[in-house]
Structure 1
């Protein structure tokens, strides 16, 4: 498996600034080519760390989540990563090694590792390896529900989560679901969506869920609202509610992306 992560660096002065970056009222595309050193942020309470903040709540756009790509130098990390006591965290390791502690439990993470951390949990994250570590981090304030208990912490690896084929797809479209879709404790899901070459979403999905989609590998033509956009490894798509979407996988290998969506709660009135 390969897992894309921001390339960093900075193009030379001989490069033209044209790019495929797009920002509209319905969606945004932040391609890998613009995820460079000078757009990173340093975070209070973290050492040896920088972050690409790819999504944040915006009034009138996507309002439920923030999504970071966090790069940890050797011995970089934080003993108190989350400043919001109501925020839950979802981590997915793209490269390198990391030590995640949740309460008293230590978890050694590697590329493909997935972790869910409930709000209020005490946790820390450190790169104890000799190489840079890259981690995708989704932050969301937890929304409670009637008769719904708090989810427990979960640490697993994508190889332990078999793809579930979508109906009538012949296995060309499948989703790895880290949470049971019927478990209403969770107010969001982060999945890996997989397409084999030629696989597709065969209709324009138009729904209330907001999305963050980080392309882990492969290429596709992706429908966003009324526009077909070419996307590849490291490209990030950010969709507000009800933005129509579909895709057709291109190339000779799988097209895979990490998908955030908010689910399982009433709409606040």
Structure 2
């Protein structure tokens, strides 16, 4: 099987002689779910999906993710769904990390391969099928869309990472760059799912502390991440959740690039009432 540069999960179970010591961390400000935790025993089955298992990496939960859910999906050959999204208010992003498949959306058929990216606007009728000979694996990020009076809703589109030019951060000469699938100036969108790339030795050189919540899946490489008060080693296949305002910074460890798929909520006023109507 051809190696995927996006580090899909391997599944399976560790042997009985394996040590239990690992890097999993869950705190009030961040969580680290290492790739070794993503075994078959922690997968979920979903209604109206056939031949499919899902690692649910984040979900809205008190003391955890508030704005989004993120799944890592594995669909066997011939599997898929004609009724994938149960919530008509939800929007979604699919990012393919392994295998081949096809997406039906807005009356068109879109072939899927590693690096394919699909934005599915709220209310979009879509379906997905693995029409290849190996498992199809992809990230599925879901968020309830927040409409704004006077702004049109965003529309569904499908593209590929190779079609989007990374944009270097100012002053880094490309050592720190972001592949943006949606323009930051397009205020119709209330979430971004981008790819961030740091060359070996590059860094995020200050402790970012901001309103955006993050889901961060490491596609390639390794780094040392500053999360709140802790320095944590992370590598390809790990997932991180960062609460809003969690201080964050990192150093890319090399020898190759450090790359991750990054979710964040954007472009909306913060709600002034907590859930349940409390002030």
Partner residue in 1 for 2:251: 248
In structure 1, runs of 5+ residues without a counterpart are: none
> 2:88 aligned to 78, 85, 88, which one?
85
1:61 shift after superposition:
3.1
SS of match in other structure, 1:159: helix
Q: Do residues 126 (structure 1) and 129 (structure 2) align?
A: yes
The CA deviation at 1:112 is: 0.2
Retained in 1: the 8 A contact 2:106–2:156? Answer: no
Whole-Å Cα distance in 1 between the matches of residues 8 and 222 of structure 2? 15
Q: What does residue 193 of structure 1 align with?
A: 196
Q: After the TM superposition, which parts of structure 1 deviate over 4 Å for at least 4 consecutive aligned residues?
A: none
Aligned to 1:154: 157
Partner SS state of residue 80, structure 2: strand
Which of residues 198, 219, 223 in structure 2 aligns to 1:220? 223
TM-score, normalised via structure 2 length:
0.95
Shift of 1:146: 3.0
1:24 to 18, 22, 27: 27
Q: CA RMSD in A?
A: 0.8
Asked whether the equivalents of residues 90 and 115 of structure 1 are also in contact (C-alpha less than 8 Å), the reply is: yes
Mapped contact 1:62–1:241 kept (Cα < 8 A): no
State whether structure 2 residue 149 is matched by structure 1 residue 142: no
SS at match of 1:3: coil
Output the CA distance in 2 between the equivalents of 1:255 and 1:151. Answer: 30
Is 1:233 matched with 2:213? Answer: no
1:248 aligns to what SS in structure 2? strand
Q: Greater shift after overlay, 87-96 or 58-67?
A: 58-67
The answer on 1:57 being equivalent to 2:68 is no
Q: In structure 1, how many angstroms separate the alpha carbons of the residues matched to 2:190 and 2:62?
A: 20
Aligned to 2:14: 11
